């Protein structure tokens, strides 16, 4: 079993002793020349010339490709982990700070993705929504009212969960300004 291919070919009679010796000497001289060239290149500081067809080169190239794919996969996994972590943080924020009143008596209508939605609010909550002190967020297909100081944290992590938030605009800016673009138009049918 430990016979080399050369010995097996000789036993079968497929090659002669002279042919085997010639191949052996050729292989030895070739490896000797390659080693000699490597030593010369090392002394001269020349980078080793790699045969692009050699098995070692192809194996190294395949290994590099595997490492690159693994890095990309790890980056994707890390990004998914961060997104899950942010969602958990937002869920905790909303569940800790929501101010929905179960005994709210009126509906507050708002637009979400071209559809009109409704959330139950009290009179005070309606006023706070209009003034930008409360915002409406969606979590698990339920609408939650959250204070304005929480809105920025939600907006930084997942802006798609923020459904309705009226940014407060000072009225003095509109009234004092002579600019017609900043001042809202006064309807003709309004009686003063």
Where residue 45 falls (left for φ over 0; alpha for ψ -120 to 50; beta otherwise) is left
Task: State how many domains the chain has.
Answer: 1
For the cut 80, the answer to whether the pLDDT of residue 140 exceeds it is yes
What is the rounded distance in angstroms from the CA atom of residue 87 to the CA atom of residue 28?
66
Global pTM reads: 0.51
Please state, in angstroms and rounded to a whole number, the distance separating the CA atoms of residues 165 and 148. Answer: 8
**Distance (Å, rounded) from C-alpha 144 to C-alpha 119?**
8
DSSP state of 168: -
In a domain, 12, yes or no: no
Residue 156 within a domain? yes
Q: Residues 30-74: pLDDT tens digits?
A: 787 778 877 777 777 655 555 656 777 788 888 999 999 999 999
In a domain, 74, yes or no: no
118 is in which domain, residue-wise?
98-172
Which phi and psi (to 5°) does residue 47 adopt? -65, 145
**Is residue 36, in this structure, part of any structural domain at all?**
no
In a domain, 127, yes or no: yes
């Amino acid at each position: 079993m430990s016979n080399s291919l050369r010995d097996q070919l000789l036993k079968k009679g497929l090659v002669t002793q002279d042919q085997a010796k010639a191949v052996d000497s050729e292989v030895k001289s070739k490896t000797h020349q390659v080693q000699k060239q490597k030593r010369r290149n090392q002394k001269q500081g020349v980078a080793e010339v790699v045969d692009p067809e050699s098995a070692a080169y192809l194996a190294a190239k395949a290994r590099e490709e595997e490492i690159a794919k693994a890095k990309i996969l790890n980056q994707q996994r890390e990004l998914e982990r961060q997104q899950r972590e942010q969602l958990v943080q937002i869920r905790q924020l909303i569940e800790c700070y929501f101010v929905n009143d179960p005994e709210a008596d009126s509906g507050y209508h708002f637009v979400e993705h071209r559809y009109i939605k409704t959330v139950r609010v009290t009179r005070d909550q309606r006023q706070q929504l209009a003034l930008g002190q409360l915002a409406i967020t969606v979590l698990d297909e339920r609408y939650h009212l959250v204070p304005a100081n929480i809105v920025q944290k939600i907006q930084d992590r997942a802006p798609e969960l923020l459904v309705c938030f009226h940014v407060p605009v000072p009225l003095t800016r509109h009234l004092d300004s002579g600019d017609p673009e900043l001042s809202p138009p006064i309807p003709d049918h309004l009686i003063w």
